[in-house]
Structures are given as structure tokens and as C-alpha cells.
Chains A and B, each alone.
Chain A
């Protein structure tokens, strides 16, 4: 504690000395306490950060690290059970940590603006976009005629702003909504903009456009930005300084590149090592080791050209869209997709939302019927499987879903969850099933004591391990991972990816990996299929696709990986 307090002032003096400018926002020794049913909990301790005028500072941390709480305190919007219990928040020299609500209302909007996280829920669905922009302008005493509103919207990069202002939020796509929110956040030219995960709900290419635009706008206006993100790559790419938070404390802070190249705190080191957008190569150690053992155990692990466990041929899925009475139009969610999956390898299907990648997964899992085309599993057409054969097929192909909070039945404890597939397929007796469950828990590195717990007692990563154990219970050959790691924090994500790689090496599993995250693909996949709007635009080995993408769409996707262009010394990357 002593040490900490001594370091910070030195930094401040150094800054003031070199520039002579007063920082716009300075947080000193901030502590935030929440009242919960279990007593007082300190969410943030000794947080400190400094933002100079015109500077962009990013706070990076996992969920629960206190990064959003710190930012909310700066704009005076802590939840009602939270309060600043120590330290100062200096805005241009004025301490606003305990400022009265009246003063905060004056500051919000025209001095501190905010772009919230989720563009889907942060616009009021019953008001037109234009009205919502006008509301902000009016609240801050700015001119708020239709032309002013249109100007604000067009500055945020919304074309045809006059017409757009008359539309409702549901008529906007996610990216457009986020632009509207940025327009609202910047409408009164605030001096500080707090952007809380502004793009984490958006596709990578849209994310890139939005962030580029945010950059241009804030540079033009000279706005300082406090960017909150879980993605170290994104933070390093967009911010001048990065502040790393962990367990409610600032563990490391410094200029972005310096911090990435030379992380000193063990947590930052860990983050840099696991950040998928920064790691350039696949999870090697486990993989190479695995190839050796797999070679010894089963010669088939070195796939022969013909050994395609899955062959997808000209797959099509057409949905009927209802358009009023009796009328309907066809919408091809998946259109003429063909690819093969070799046994013992990982094939990734990459695409943005709406590309049809999840529909492909559902059809492979026999949860949706293809409109056209064939899926061959081990050479057998799955569309003609009889119910009994389908039951056997289910044993050999298992899914892992995206949302670890939704894929486990909250009423089942972990033992029952993992045992269910064994019971359904009538494998073994009670004792042998229990033994198998214990083995499976070992395989996914969960303690056997977790057996009696319920999903709500486990973290996201642990639930995903349980889901993996359940998928493995029937000794399947193919596992379909539908965005299996997308909802997890970076470190946990790395752990789960390593686990999947180890399991593949030990059990000779084949993965079909559905994801929107190219960075993850590079870490785990052998082959990549890039999908756009229901069509397959590019396939190839991961190295080929990443090194020499042929299609413009693939190039755009690759360019959009945050932090992709950061030059890092090899020992870090």
C-alpha cells in the first residue's frame, strides 16, 4: 500500500513537468464499495489513471475486474448500491467523486459523454432516432432543430441523415445503432468520451469501421477518450496508454506498445500471452506432443486423403420469410456449401452474424433438415438415417454450444448433466457411469468435488468444461463447437482452447469449429472455410488463408482483427 501511494504522485509530477498541461481526468486512489446481501464488497481499490486532453486511454481487464465500475464512477452513474468510498476523481482539477447530482447533470453530455456497451438495448425502441438525439441536445442547451440533429448523425457516419432521423431503432442494423449512440455521445462535443466496450457486440468488420470513425471524430474534436475493453489487442491498437485492471486494482499502466512489448506484472504477461489477437501461431506445444502420441496409438491420425469423416456436398437451407397474409419469400441462409472434414483435424467455419455458419452446424448435427444437398458422415448420407441409426449417429457427433450459461440445465447438478448422455444411451450400470463421470471431470480438469454443484455455482469457463465433458461422455468422433469460446474471458478462453487441443491429441477427435473470431481460428484450426451471406467464399489450410488470402472479404476480415498490425517482438507473439 505504501509503495503504491509513493509511485503514483511521482508519475503525476513527471507528467506535469514535461507538458505543463493539466490532465483532463485524473483518478487518484479511487475505492468503490458495493452494498450486497453478503455485506460490503470493495469492487475497486487504489485505482488511478490520468487522461491528458486529446488522449485516448484504455482500461483492459476481464469481467469483474472493476473496469466498467471505475468508468461509471467518473460519470457519476454508479448503481444505487455502490458508492465512492475513497480517493478522488479530478475532472480538470475539480473533484467530482462526491459532487452533487445537480453538478453531475451539468457535466454529463457536454463535458463527459458516454457510449454504452450494447447497441441493441441502449436505444429506446419507442422513440425515433432523431428524437433521441434531440433530447440530448436539448438537455444540454444546444440548438436542436432538425438540421442540427441531421448534422450530428451525419458526422457519426450515418448516410442520408435526414431520413434516418425519422426512423425507429429496430429499422437500424447493429452497426448503425452504435453509430447513432456515438452520435448521441458526441453530440454536445464533450471533452471526455467514455466508451464502454463500444463494439464488443458487433461483427469485426463493423467494429473496425466504427472504431476508425470514432478515432477520426475524436481527433477532429480534440476529445479525450476513456475506452473500456476486454481485448488487449484492440486497446493497444486504439489507445495511447493502457491501464490493466485485475481484481479491482490497477496492476500495470503505461504507453500501449511499451506495455505490450515489455509487460512486467505477471497478470499482464499472462494476458499478453493468451490474447488471441496477438498470438500469431496455433497452440503448438500440446499439438506437436499430441501428433506424436496419436501416431503411436493410431496410424489413422495421419489422415489419408480419403479419410473424410464429414463430407458436405452442395448444402442449401432455404427459410420461408412470412410477408403478410399468405405471401412469403425465400431466404437462402445457406447456399451451395461444400467442404470436407478430415478425421482428427480441426476445420473452422468463419463468418459474421448472418453468414449461415450456425445453420450449417445445426444441419450437420441433424437438428435442421437441409433443403438440398447432402451431408455424408463416414460415407453414409445422413438424410436417409432411420430413427435408430440417427440415435447411433448422435453418439458419434456431439455439440458444444456458445453460451455456457444456457447450455446446461439449471435444474441438473453437474453429475446428472454429464451422466445424462450415458443414461439416455443406456451405457453401463450406475456404478460404472459414476466412474465414467469422474474420469470425464478429470479429463476436463475439474475437481471431482464439483459433481454435486449446480451450474449457477460455476463460472463461465467451468460451465464450458462441463459442457465439454458431457459432449465427451459418449466417446464421440466429431465435436461441433458452435462459438464455444466466444463468451469467455481471454485467459479462460486460452485455457479452454488448450484443453480442446489436448483432448484432440489424446482422443483423436475431429472438430468442426464455428466462430466469428479469426484470431481463435488461427490458434486452433487446420482448415478454414470462410462464409459470407450463406456462401462459402474461401477455403484452405489455415496458414494459406492467413498468409495469402485470395478473396477481398477474407482480407477485410483479417485486417479487422484488432491488434493484427501491431508489430511485436517474436518472443511475445
Chain B
């Protein structure tokens, strides 16, 4: 069948031999984080959400820059449900407080609850999840069941029960809300961490480190966790938004922050009284809440895309 006896050779000058396996030297070195950052900073989704979050942070840290009214002051019943006037662009609440200044001051409570809860969830969830995933066996079994128990408790129901304990009923503060949210939300972080750790645990580079003499725990800290960080960071960013909503929900129901702390959830609850006559009173804190949550969720999406390992193969 071999009819073709001609032997074709490409002209050598057109197909020069390259050095086998030369090292690229033309680009700057790229770590995972540098690579992710390079991708992130070009994405409009990231730029918009980052700018919004930056603005919100400034508002939360220095509310005095944006309003001269101190928290819980300047409320006059004479102004009840009043429309916008000079110096009071959003008008007044049912209690006659300036809506604009309440929204500005409310930022602090929402942001701090969100950030503190995420930090607590990270500490508890990552520690337990990493131990469960890395060591497996009975540690994993015990922690998994423990997580399932908390997983089964709906946030609102759990919070209702916990906040009715005398200890909490007497001392409502930012910290009690953070405690309730962290207690009920850590299992999800633990599960994600556990999965990520299990995926990395059996990599050759972990075995290689172990056979270099790195201890078992050392390998977890130095090699496994850093490589499992990406999904953890993504979840943390997304949960920040979720926790801010949770705080608003609890405050709305009256089991979150006390009335003395200005928060969007309290404001939304207070605006119920005027929902028929002046629905826009509710609009302002609700809009602030939505924008905040939306920016964190957009940030989470952008970070997830940037850290996606599938997009990282050259």
C-alpha cells in the first residue's frame, strides 16, 4: 500500500531548531497573587466595587466628615416625617431625626458587624475545617457532625433563641450580634476549607515537603493552607455582604443591635411606622444597605474569577 516513497524535508532555514526547553526571561516573575492582581485591576466589576467599598470605609471610619449632626441628636418631633430641607437632603424620620445623618452613622455599625463576623468565622471555620480535612479520621467525623448541627439551625431561629438568653438580652451590642452570626455561620467556611485542604493534601509537593523533613503540621501551615486560600478568600468576601444583611435582619426584628446604636436595620424597622404616608423614609437606609451588600458580592465575584485556577495555565 505504501505508494509514497518520496521523502519530504522542510527547508531548514524556515524551520530553525530552537534550544530545547529554554527558560523565558522576557517577563517579570509572577506569583499567584501578583497574577490575580494583574487580572483584577483590569476588570470594571472590581474597580467599581472596590471604589464603593473604599468610599463606604471612609464613611464608616469618619462619619464626621459627611455630617455635622452627632449620632442620636438633633431629633425634633416637630420635624416628624418632614420633607427635604436645606442641610437635610433626605428629610426626616417619624421621630423627626435627619435621615441623611442616620444613614451616614449607620454605616459604621453595618460594616463593623460584617467585618468582625467574617474575621471570627475565618478563625473558627478555617481552623476547624483545615484540621478536619488535613488529619481526617475521627477529628473529621466529630467536626463534621458538629458543623452539621449548626448548619441545621436556620439563622433567624437560632438567633431568636440565643438572643433570648438572659446574658444576651441584657447586653445587646455589636459583639453579641457578631457572636450570634459567627456561631451560626462558621460551618460553611469550615466545609469549604475542608474541601480545599483535602484537594491540596495529597499533592506531590506536600509529600515532597514531608520527605524533606517538614513536620506534618508544618506542611499544613506552610504548603497546604496557602494553596487552599483562594476559595476561602472568595467565600469570605461574599459572606461579608451576607452578614451585613443578617445584621440588618436581626436589628429589624429587634433582636440585633440595640436602638442606641444607629444601624440601617434599626432605621428600616423604624421606617415601618411611616410606610404608608412616606415610603421614601425606608428607601434611604434600604438603598445604603443594598449598595453595600452589592459591592461586596461584586468584589467576591471578581476575586473568584481572578483566582480561578483554570484561567491560570499558560
Residues of A whose CB lies within 8 Å of any CB of B are 1, 3-4, 7-8, 10-11, 14-15, 18-19, 21, 50, 52, 54-55, 240-241, 246-247, 249-255, 258-259, 262, 264-267, 270, 365-367, 391, 394-395, 397-399, 401-403, 406-411, 413, 420-421, 424-425, 446-447, 449-450, 452-454, 456-459, 461-462, 467, 470, 474, 491-492, 495
Contacts and interface: CB of A to CB of B under 8 A. Distances in A.
Contacts of A420: 209, 212, 214
Listed from nearest, the 4 A-B pairs whose CB atoms lie closest are A254-B7, A407-B204, A394-B213, A406-B204
B5 interface: yes
A157 B114 CA distance: 63
Nearest to B207: A367
Interface stretch (B29-37, B74-82, B143-151, B270-278): B29-37
Given A4-B11, A421-B212, A491 B4 contact: no
Nearest to A459: B21
Interface residues of B, number: 44
Interface in B1-55: 1-12, 14-15, 17-18, 20-21, 23-25, 27, 29-32
Given A11-B6, A456-B30, A459-B21, 15 more contacts: A11-B4, A11-B8, A15-B4, A18-B3, A249-B15, A365-B211, A407-B204, A407-B207, A411-B32, A411-B227, A420-B209, A424-B214, A453-B29, A454-B32, A456-B312
Given A409-B227, A424-B214, A495 B205 contact: no
A401 B4 CA distance: 44
Contacts of A21: 3
B17 A446 contact: no
A250 B226 CA distance: 44
A406 B200 CA distance: 10
A395 B266 CA distance: 63
A52 B3 CA distance: 8
A11 B7 CA distance: 9
A4 B2 CA distance: 23
Contact of B6 (A14, A55, A249): A14
B208 to A, nearest CB: 5
Contact of A409 (B6, B20, B218, B223): B223
Given A401-B204, A409-B227, A421-B213, A265 B3 contact: no
Interface string B272-314: 0000000000000000000000000000000000000000111
A408 B204 CA distance: 7
A398 B21 contact: no
B23 A450 contact: yes
Interface of B: 1-12, 14-15, 17-18, 20-21, 23-25, 27, 29-32, 203-205, 207-214, 218, 223, 226-227, 312-314
B9 A264 contact: yes
Nearest to B31: A454
22 contacts: A7-B8, A50-B4, A241-B4, A252-B8, A252-B9, A264-B9, A265-B15, A367-B207, A394-B212, A399-B208, A401-B207, A406-B205, A407-B203, A407-B207, A409-B223, A410-B227, A411-B223, A411-B226, A425-B213, A457-B27, A470-B212, A474-B212
B298 to A, nearest CB: 22
Contact of B213 (A395, A410, A452): A395
Q: Which of A3, A10, A424, A446 has the most CB of B within 10 A?
A: A424
Contacts of B5: 254-255, 258
B232 to A, nearest CB: 14
Contacts of A262: 7
A52 B9 contact: no
Contact of B11 (A3, A54, A270, A467): A3
A462 B23 contact: yes
Given A365-B211, A411-B226, A54 B8 contact: no
Nearest to A249: B15
B219 to A, nearest CB: 10
B4 A410 contact: no
A18 to B, nearest CB: 6
Contact of A254 (B8, B207, B213, B218): B8
B31 A411 contact: yes
A465 B30 CA distance: 19
B10 A241 contact: no
Contacts of B23: 446-447, 449-450, 453, 458, 462
A457 B35 CA distance: 11
Contacts of B12: 265-266
Contacts of A457: 24, 27, 29-30, 314
A249 B18 CA distance: 13
Given A420-B212, A454-B29, A52 B4 contact: yes
B5 to A, nearest CB: 6
A426 to B, nearest CB: 10
A54 B1 CA distance: 7
A8 B7 CA distance: 11
Contacts of B207: 367, 399, 401, 407
B10 A250 contact: yes
Contacts of B313: 456
A165 to B, nearest CB: 34
Contacts of A18: 3
Contacts of A252: 7-10
A408 B208 CA distance: 8
A240 B29 contact: no
A1 B204 contact: no
A253 B205 CA distance: 41
A408 B205 CA distance: 5
Nearest to A488: B21
Contacts of A247: 15, 18
A247 B18 CA distance: 9
Contacts of A409: 205, 209, 223, 226-227
Contacts of A397: 211
Contacts of A411: 31-32, 223, 226-227
A219 B15 CA distance: 35
A50 B212 CA distance: 53
A156 B47 CA distance: 57
Contacts of B27: 457
A380 B26 CA distance: 50
Contacts of B218: 424
Nearest to B309: A410
A447 B15 contact: no
B15 A240 contact: no
A413 B28 CA distance: 12
A275 B218 CA distance: 42
B170 to A, nearest CB: 47
B29 A413 contact: yes
A449 B24 CA distance: 10
Given A391-B213, A462-B23, A265 B29 contact: no
Contacts of B3: 15, 18-19, 21, 52, 55
B313 to A, nearest CB: 7
